[in-house]
Amino acid sequence: MVAPDIHAAVRERVHELDESWFAVASTYVSLAQRDGEPAVVARLNAVYAAAVEAKEATLRPEIRLLNRLLRAKDEAGRAELLAQHAADLARRARLVCTAVACVRLTRARARVCVCCAATMATSSCSWRA
């Protein structure tokens, strides 16, 4: 890509970004690294990062968070991401509990909260049927 605004160019073509595109782009980065072309590597990495950003913008928020968690470098990075999204995660978990209510496990004949996976009879889960 020779576009002056990488992000705009990638957003225009986001529908073309699939697994094969990312595989080919990664291969080109590896080849440029092997050939000792730091300027090409930098440009390709910038395009790749813009493509990841544009593609993730089309995903549901929980999938975006999952991708970011998978890319986090260490446990501290994952903990920071979870802390940043704690309120939204808690809200989504409450919605799941409210919408799905409780699942009856036939083997245990116990009601289990789908939010915290605790047995309702012994749980301190705040949601009750």
Asked if pLDDT for residue 22 goes beyond 90, the answer is yes
Is the residue at 13 inside a domain? yes
Is the residue at 1 inside a domain? no
Q: Residue 90's pLDDT band (boundaries 50, 70, 90)? A: confident
Convert 8-45 to b/e letters by CB count within 10 Å (16 or more is b).
Answer: ebbeeeeeebeeeeeeebeeebeebeeeeeeeebebbe
Maximum average pLDDT range among 48-52, 84-88, 112-116: 48-52
Is the residue at 100 inside a domain? no
Is the residue at 22 inside a domain? yes
Selected residue with higher pLDDT from 115 and 31 = 31
Is the residue at 122 inside a domain? no
Going by C-alpha positions, the residue among 36, 41, 85 that lies closest to residue 64 is 85
How far apart are alpha carbons 51 and 13 in whole angstroms? 9
Maximum average pLDDT range among 44-48, 63-67, 89-93, 117-121: 44-48
Question: What is the H or E stretch that residue 112 is in?
Answer: strand 110-113
How far apart are alpha carbons 29 and 26 in whole angstroms? 5
Q: How many domains does the chain have?
A: 1
Q: Could you tell me the residue range of the domain that residue 68 belongs to?
A: 6-86
